[in-house]
């Protein structure tokens, strides 16, 4: 869903809801906090019962410091967990995560029909599903995506943007891009400029992000004792009883500035028996794949995990993973993948890997050597698959002819102000199309050109195959009263 459609959809959901709840991940950082505040302003403009779910103990130290400054100047936009009242007309907005286990209050997901997700991370195995998602893993931050939506939202309704909120959102971008040095693109700087126009105070942001002397000294002490693995990797070991996860992240980012280092893993106890790892990379190494291997997640250049283990065991596991993936670089191997392998390729891809990792793929039956014989077998298989695909495309073209230029009729109750009672969804549309024309459509492949918010004629596009789209009309009429 693109930003314009997401803005229209969110406004309609907020207007027809009786409450909106916005939350991010546990121990929210400035990006999560800024994204929540950005969405809160949009929701609050049309639904007064809009709230943020972010208890003090679920904000990291920097975010908590910033939030305390916020509520000294503004009304606290949060709601206590025990005061949340969910109904079937409530909307839950999730920002900066898709993982159910990372949510501040995961129980809400199962209690509501309407969920909106805005995130810049790749989906994990326990990802929350939603028909209203704006997810771009290559965005610099979730704040970037929220402002992207805001740019279209502000054309739909006249509203003010709070300068202090803009400063916090700018801070979120600074944190997630490491001072605009990682994961940036043209849109990143456009959004940063937009936030400055909206009143973001850059000097205030820099003040929030300053580290005190003891923390700075601690970080450099960790770097002084760093262990270099396979030339391009660094492991930092923090042996204090409990370490702040923010400090681990800052230490990893600082070590990443060392010449020839592509990835850093900062490891320390975050609570009794639980080890935290903060991973950072320049983009040459996908640390998200590393952290997912251990049960965590994140982004290409910024990821983390918390795991019940000892520091020694965690560091040894990271070393083994590094050696497996990147050791033996002097003995490269060409392998045909037998299944999808995260961060490496899809089934049937021919990839070049380090010798150690190549042997791992072979022994785990995830790949086979790319010999001349195996490459010929792969070629023959791909030829047959191509022929089958061509037949499927021809079938979809025939189906397109059966769908094109047809129409269906749907009726709905309309209030005195012209607004619809309820909403017409893609589920209603595909059911009615099958009823009238006997053709079953996949609702996930059905796209509306505009949200249906009044009587009229709407064009529907059905994505049958890449390059093969069919269209028909939905005639929405007012339901006649007896």
Q: What is the dihedral of CA 311, 271, 59, 111, to 10 degrees?
A: 100
What tokens appear for 326 in the block?
């990147």
For residue range 383-428, what is the model confidence (pLDDT) as tens digits? 998 999 999 999 999 999 999 999 999 888 777 666 666 677 888 8
For the chain, which domains are there?
Answer: 3-209 (3.90.1640.10), 213-326 (3.10.310.30), 333-369 (3.40.5.10), 401-478 (3.10.430.100)
What is the side-by-side order of every strand in the sheet holding 50-53? 50-53, 19-23, 90-95, 114-119, 132-135
Does residue 297 register a pLDDT over 90?
Answer: no
- Out of 149-153, 190-194, 293-297, least confident range: 293-297
How would you class 272 by CB atoms within 10 Å of its CB: exposed for 0-12, middle for 13-18, buried for 19 or more?
Answer: exposed
| Residue 368 per-residue DSSP state | E
Residue 114's SS3 state is strand
CB 103 within 8 A of CB 96: no
Distance CA 180, CA 79 (A): 33
The Cβ of residue 377 has, within 10 Å, a number of other Cβ atoms equal to 13
Measured in whole angstroms, how far is the alpha carbon of residue 357 from the centre of its chain?
A: 29
**Hey, is 12 helix, strand or coil?**
helix
The 10s digit of each residue's pLDDT in 425-473 is: 888 899 999 999 999 999 889 988 777 777 889 999 999 998 899 999 9
3-state class of 64 per DSSP?
helix
Spatial separation of the C-alpha atoms in residues 384 and 296, rounded to whole Å? 39
At which residue do the structure tokens 């106890």 appear? 269
Residue 444, pLDDT score: 87
Residue with tokens 């326990």: 126
Q: Is the pLDDT of residue 482 over 80?
A: no
Q: What is the mean pLDDT of residues 350-363?
A: 80
Q: What are phi and psi of 205, to 5 degrees?
A: -60, -45
For the chain, the farthest-separated pair of C-alpha atoms sits apart, in whole angstroms, at 82
**pTM of the predicted model as reported, rounded to 2 decimal places:** 0.64
Digit-coded pLDDT (tens) for 64-109: 999 999 999 888 999 999 899 998 899 999 999 998 888 999 999 9
Q: What is the DSSP letter of 211?
A: P
Give the 3-state secondary structure of residue 117. Answer: strand
Strands 90-95, 19-23: pairing is parallel
pLDDT value, residue 156:
86
Q: In the numeric block, which tokens belong to residue 2?
A: 């693109």
């Amino acid at each position: 869903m693109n930003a314009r459609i997401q803005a229209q959809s969110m406004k309609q959901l907020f207007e027809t809801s009786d409450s909106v709840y916005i939350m991010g991940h546990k121990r929210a950082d400035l990006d999560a906090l800024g994204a929540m505040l950005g969405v809160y302003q949009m929701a609050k403009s049309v639904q007064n019962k809009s709230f943020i779910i972010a208890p003090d103990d679920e904000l990291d130290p920097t975010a908590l410091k910033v939030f305390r400054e916020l509520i000294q100047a503004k009304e606290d936009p949060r709601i206590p967990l025990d005061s949340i009242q969910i109904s079937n007309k409530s909307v839950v907005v999730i920002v900066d995560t898709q993982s159910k286990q990372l949510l501040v209050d995961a129980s809400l997901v199962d209690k509501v029909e309407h969920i909106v997700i805005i995130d810049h991370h790749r989906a994990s195995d326990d990802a929350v599903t939603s028909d209203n998602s704006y997810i771009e893993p290559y965005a610099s931050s979730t704040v970037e995506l929220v402002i992207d939506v805001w740019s279209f939202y502000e054309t739909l309704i006249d509203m003010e943007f709070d300068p202090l909120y803009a400063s916090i959102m700018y801070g979120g971008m600074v944190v997630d891009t490491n001072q605009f040095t990682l994961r940036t693109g043209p849109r990143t700087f456009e959004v940063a400029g937009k936030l400055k126009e909206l009143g973001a105070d850059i000097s205030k942001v820099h003040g929030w992000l300053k580290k005190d002397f003891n923390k700075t000294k601690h970080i450099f002490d960790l770097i002084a004792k760093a262990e270099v693995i396979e030339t391009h990797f660094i492991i930092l070991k923090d042996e204090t009883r409990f370490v702040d996860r923010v400090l681990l992240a800052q230490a990893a980012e600082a070590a990443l500035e060392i010449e020839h280092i592509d990835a850093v893993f900062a490891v320390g106890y975050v609570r009794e028996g639980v080890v935290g790892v903060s991973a950072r990379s320049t983009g040459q190494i996908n640390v998200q794949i590393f952290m997912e291997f251990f049960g965590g997640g994140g982004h290409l250049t910024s990821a983390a995990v918390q795991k019940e283990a000892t520091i020694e065991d965690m560091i040894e596991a990271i070393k083994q993973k590094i050696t497996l993936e990147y050791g033996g670089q002097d003995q490269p191997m060409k392998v045909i993948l037998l299944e999808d392998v995260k961060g490496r390729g899809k089934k049937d891809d021919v990839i070049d890997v380090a010798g150690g990792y190549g042997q791992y793929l072979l022994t785990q039956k995830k790949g086979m050597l790319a010999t001349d014989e195996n490459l010929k077998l792969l070629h023959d298989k791909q030829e047959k698959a191509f022929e089958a695909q061509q037949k499927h495309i021809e079938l979809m073209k025939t189906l397109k002819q059966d769908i094109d230029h047809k129409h269906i009729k749907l009726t709905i109750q309309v209030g005195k102000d012209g607004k619809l009672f309820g909403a017409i969804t893609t589920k209603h549309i595909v059911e009615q199309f099958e009823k009238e024309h006997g053709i079953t459509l996949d609702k996930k492949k059905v796209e509306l050109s505009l949200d249906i918010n009044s009587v009229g004629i709407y064009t529907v596009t059905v994505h049958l195959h890449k390059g093969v789209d069919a269209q028909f009309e939905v005639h929405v009429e007012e339901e006649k009263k007896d």
